[in-house]
Amino acid sequence: MLFSHGSFAVDCFFVLSGFVMMYVYGNRFGQGLSKADLFEFFVARFARLYPVQIATFGLLLSWFFVTKGRHGEWESFLNSDGRYSWEAAVANLVFLQGPWIDHRTWNYPSWSLSAEWHAYVLFPLLVPVVRRLNNLVVAVAVASAVPVGLYCWYQIEDIGTNGLISLLRVIPLFVIGMVAYRLRDQEWTGSTSIVLLGTVGTLALLIIPRAWILLPIAAPTLLFAALNENWFSRLLHARILVWLGEQSYSLYMIHALIQIFTTSILLPKLGFDSASISPMVGLWWVAVMIVVSLLVADQVRRWIEVPAREAIKQRARDKFVEAII
């Protein structure tokens, strides 16, 4: 039960992302939109997302050409509307694979990066609006918008990871995160009750049948707890949790590749059929994939994510200085 609905953690991420963007950039964009601030914001977002996105896409593209090309199976690439089509490949290069392709493509978790980028485009324009909301409107919005929005999603059979409908999933949750940030200075947000509510609420929503759709409701309460001095924030500073947090983006982007490579190459070579392996073998195989994914993600972060991010930001700063001199 806990793992079968882990995909809703992505919805929690959209709420957390809106909150964090307000935490970092809210004051700056609330005072007006300057070219320098916009430039810095979009460079930072691009540097954060694109290096790992293009690296994992490149790995999957190479795998496709080696496996499919060797057997002359080019139809899926030449067909413009397939998962591994050339059209989907182009969309992946420019963050358009989520809302503008109506099916999963290449490294399928990257749909959320594409949708998130659309939220970033709107973010500077939304900041002044959110900052002007009075406290009552903020409280009502946080209390009602997430469950109402997710209840609507609950009535839709396909939760929407691709096509324009995915923006209706992502942007409202991102905005709720922005609005929730307005409550950060309230005294009650740092209380033990909020810590317990967020923790117990998260576990309850994961366990109670058909309640996991409302999981993002708990995201703001956990953030409030993490930003205050309490046992929960101290727990989050445990070395293993800090390490997992540092790997989270690379892990998110690499895990699907590990799944694809192991099930399509490794399992057949070991004489297993992924569709008919026993539960015990399947459990061990999942454990192996998790360990391998963590180890690979650590190397991706060390050699691609962090160096490329810093290089892009430094290069952009140098170019910006040259432009204004």
- One digit per residue, the tens of pLDDT, for the chain of length 325 reads 445 555 667 777 888 889 889 989 988 888 888 888 898 999 999 999 999 999 999 888 888 777 766 555 566 666 766 777 888 888 888 888 888 887 778 888 888 888 899 999 999 998 988 888 776 666 666 666 555 555 555 555 455 677 777 787 788 888 888 888 877 766 666 666 666 666 666 666 666 655 555 666 666 777 776 676 767 777 777 888 888 888 889 999 998 888 888 877 777 777 766 666 777 767 777 888 888 899 999 999 999 999 999 999 888 877 766 565 5
DSSP character at residue 73: -
**pLDDT at residue 2, rounded to an integer:** 47
**pLDDT at residue 143, rounded to an integer:** 60
**pLDDT at residue 176, rounded to an integer:** 82
CA gap 233, 189 in Å, rounded: 13
Residue 214: count of CB within 10 angstroms of its CB: 19
Residue 49: count of CB within 10 angstroms of its CB: 21
Would you call 189 exposed, middle or buried from its count of C-beta atoms within 10 A (0-12, 13-18, 19+)?
middle
pTM, 2 dp:
0.81
Residue 44: count of CB within 10 angstroms of its CB: 17
**pLDDT at residue 109, rounded to an integer:** 86
Phi-psi category of 271—alpha, beta or left, where left has phi over 0 and alpha has psi -120 to 50?
left
Phi-psi category of 230—alpha, beta or left, where left has phi over 0 and alpha has psi -120 to 50?
beta
**pLDDT at residue 41, rounded to an integer:** 92
**pLDDT at residue 78, rounded to an integer:** 65
Backbone phi and psi for residue 80, each to the nearest 5 degrees, phi listed first: -70, -15
- Residue written as token pair 């909301």: 133
**pLDDT at residue 218, rounded to an integer:** 66
Helix (H) or strand (E) holding 175, with range, is helix 165-181
